[in-house]
């Protein structure tokens, strides 16, 4: 049997006062999601462990069966890999924003929400390929974002960020946090100053200024991390896996774990994304794979915006029609269908919390329970409460893909 794991990013929530203490999941009318719960086995899941406020990156690593504490040093290498840089073990990766600086102050961390930076990236790559014997790889990602990778000897991720995180602050000099990181900090500060020289009179920036748009005249760096040594999905579980997501960070995780990235042109990673197109893509490719991870982002975004109504609307108008495609077209005999979240995102706190998330597993061989709705109350079901890292073994066992342990 095959496995389809759908991760609804940040979909669980805490009770919302204006919803009479209901969560968005409890308030939503989602017949197809509920059908999966009603005819499946249910539980709740602590993405990393109870009370830990997981990021999307560490949570996804855990859901795929990895121990984030052993391999995660920062978001940078995942973003850089997601942007399309072919990273290698030991590389140093960073997240990068194109930004606007005036009088040594960052006036806009997103350079007027610039949407295409490929011309800028091309010019930077033409001028900078190596600094102090260390190779430099730079690549644009969505919007104002980009990824940066350094490859060479004696690099360290124990450095500070240059990103001041708030507007109207000076960009910070990158500082080493240990003696061994001095060289890394020097190289990155040099990368920033050389990049600023290239961007200063760049034709694209001149065009932008003429139009009244802010120029992208600096880069802000953060999230330094080392590319970990990691067993890929194939070696770890003996399966061929694919990933459908519109989010750069999750693509990066997929690449590092050895999942094929399956592109869906109309998916945006936002509440306006075409989720049905993602479900249709899943149906189209599932025959070629043993395992598909389908990641749907919009719910998390609505919660970060503090907008639980938007979360309900996204559940009812985007997620549930996509689930309908899956319910109607993937039969229970051949596919184990699981739905969960990577963490809870509280619409009132506008951030992730450590609350567990719902989990539903639906296939012909699960022991059905009495849960009738996909919500935070799936704890009443037969799986009870598990950790993120327990999920893959359970799914692969239900798909009859695991070996006996012992005689």
Contacts of range 115-119, beta carbons closer than 8 Å, 24 or more positions apart: 115/143, 116/140, 117/144, 117/146, 117/216, 119/202, 119/203, 119/204
Closer to Zn ion by CB, 320 or 342: give it: 342
Q: CA 98 to CA 101: how far, in whole Å?
A: 10
Q: CA 242 to CA 248: how far, in whole Å?
A: 15
Tell me which stretch binds Zn ion (CB under 5 A): 7-15, 42-50, 135-143, 399-407. 7-15
Which string of DSSP letters, residue by residue, matches 108-165? ETTTTT----HHHHHHHHHH-SEETTEEEEEEE-STTEEEEEEESSS--S-B--S--S
Pick one of 42, 56, 247, 353: the residue that binds Zn ion (CB under 5 A).
56
Tell me which stretch binds Zn ion (CB under 5 A): 29-37, 56-64, 167-175, 223-231. 56-64
Closer to Zn ion by CB, 93 or 299: give it: 299
- Does 108 help bind Zn ion (rule: CB under 5 A)? no
- Does 342 help bind Zn ion (rule: CB under 5 A)? yes
Nearest approach in angstroms of CB 305 to Zn ion is 11
Are 7 and 295 contacting, i.e. CB atoms less than 8 angstroms apart? yes
Tell me which stretch binds Zn ion (CB under 5 A): 152-160, 246-254, 265-273, 339-347. 339-347
Closer to Zn ion by CB, 57 or 163: give it: 57
Closer to Zn ion by CB, 83 or 341: give it: 341
Q: Which residues contact 393 (CB under 8 A, 6 or more apart)?
A: 65, 402
Contacts of range 263-269, beta carbons closer than 8 Å, 24 or more positions apart: 269/142, 269/245, 269/297, 269/298, 269/301
Nearest approach in angstroms of CB 81 to Zn ion is 17
Q: Which tokens go with 169? A: 């602050």
Nearest approach in angstroms of CB 46 to Zn ion is 14
Helix (H) or strand (E) holding 293: strand 291-296
Residue nearest to Zn ion (CB): 56
In 3D space, the residue among 298, 335, 347 whose CA is nearest the CA of residue 40 turns out to be 335
What is the b/e burial string over 313-325, where b = at least 16 CB atoms within 10 angstroms of the residue's CB?
bbbbebbbebbbb
Tell me which stretch binds Zn ion (CB under 5 A): 95-103, 231-239, 336-344, 398-406. 336-344
Tell me which stretch binds Zn ion (CB under 5 A): 203-211, 262-270, 284-292, 334-342. 334-342
| Residue ranges of E strands in 188-232 | 218-226
Q: Within a 13 Å sphere around the CA of 351, how many CA atoms are in the beta-carbon half?
A: 6
Q: CA 325 to CA 319: how far, in whole Å?
A: 10
Query: For 204, phi and psi rounded to 5 degrees?
Result: -65, -40
Q: By CB under 5 A, how many residues form the interface with Zn ion?
A: 5
- Does 57 help bind Zn ion (rule: CB under 5 A)? no
Q: Which residues contact 149 (CB under 8 A, 6 or more apart)?
A: 77, 80, 85, 87, 91, 92, 93, 94, 136, 137, 138
Pick one of 6, 9, 267, 289: the residue that binds Zn ion (CB under 5 A).
9
Tell me which stretch binds Zn ion (CB under 5 A): 25-33, 111-119, 293-301, 331-339. 293-301
Tell me which stretch binds Zn ion (CB under 5 A): 28-36, 52-60, 235-243, 271-279. 52-60
Task: Sketch the per residue contact string, 299 through 328, with Zn ion: x for CB under 5 A, - otherwise.
Answer: -x----------------------------
Nearest approach in angstroms of CB 9 to Zn ion is 4
Nearest approach in angstroms of CB 75 to Zn ion is 12
Nearest approach in angstroms of CB 184 to Zn ion is 28
Closer to Zn ion by CB, 57 or 369: give it: 57
Q: Which residues bind Zn ion (CB under 5 A)?
A: 9-10, 56, 300, 342
């Amino acid at each position: 049997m095959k496995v389809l794991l759908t991760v609804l990013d940040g979909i669980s929530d805490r009770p919302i006062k204006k919803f009479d203490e209901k969560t968005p999941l409890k308030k939503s009318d989602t017949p197809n999601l509920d059908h999966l719960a009603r005819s499946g086995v249910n539980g709740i899941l602590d993405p990393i462990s109870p009370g830990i406020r997981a990021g999307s990156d560490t949570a996804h690593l855990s859901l795929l069966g990895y121990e984030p504490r052993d391999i995660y040093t920062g978001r940078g290498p995942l973003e850089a890999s997601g942007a399309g840089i072919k990273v290698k073990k030991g590389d140093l990766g960073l997240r990068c924003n194109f930004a606007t600086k005036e009088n040594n102050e960052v006036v806009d961390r997103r350079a007027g929400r610039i949407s295409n930076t490929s011309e800028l990236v091309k010019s930077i790559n033409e001028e900078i390929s190596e600094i102090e014997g260390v190779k430099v790889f730079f690549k644009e990602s969505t919007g104002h974002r980009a990824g940066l990778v350094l490859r060479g000897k004696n690099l360290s991720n124990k450095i500070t960020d240059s990103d001041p995180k708030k507007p109207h602050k000076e960009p910070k000099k990158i500082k080493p946090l240990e003696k061994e990181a001095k060289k890394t900090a020097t190289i990155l500060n040099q990368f920033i100053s050389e990049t600023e020289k290239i961007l200063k009179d760049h034709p694209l920036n001149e065009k932008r200024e003429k139009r009244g748009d802010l120029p992208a005249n600096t880069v802000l760096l953060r999230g330094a991390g080392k590319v970990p040594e990691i067993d890929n999905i194939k070696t770890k579980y003996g399966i061929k896996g694919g990933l459908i997501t519109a989010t750069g960070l999750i693509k990066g995780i997929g690449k590092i774990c050895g999942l094929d990235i399956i592109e869906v042109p109309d998916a945006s990673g936002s509440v306006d994304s075409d989720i049905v197109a993602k479900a249709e893509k899943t149906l189209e490719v599932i025959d070629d794979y043993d395992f598909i991870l389908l990641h749907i982002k919009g719910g998390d975004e609505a919660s970060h915006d503090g907008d639980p109504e938007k979360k309900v609307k996204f559940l009812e108008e985007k997620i549930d029609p996509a689930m309908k495609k899956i319910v109607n077209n993937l039969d229970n005999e051949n596919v184990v269908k699981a739905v969960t979240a990577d963490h809870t995102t509280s619409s009132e706190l506008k951030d992730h919390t450590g609350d567990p998330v719902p989990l539903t597993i639906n296939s012909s061989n699960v022991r059905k329970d009495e849960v009738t709705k996909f919500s935070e109350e799936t704890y009443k079901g037969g799986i009870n409460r598990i950790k993120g890292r327990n999920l893959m073994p359970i799914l692969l066992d239900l798909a009859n893909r695991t070996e006996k342990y012992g005689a």
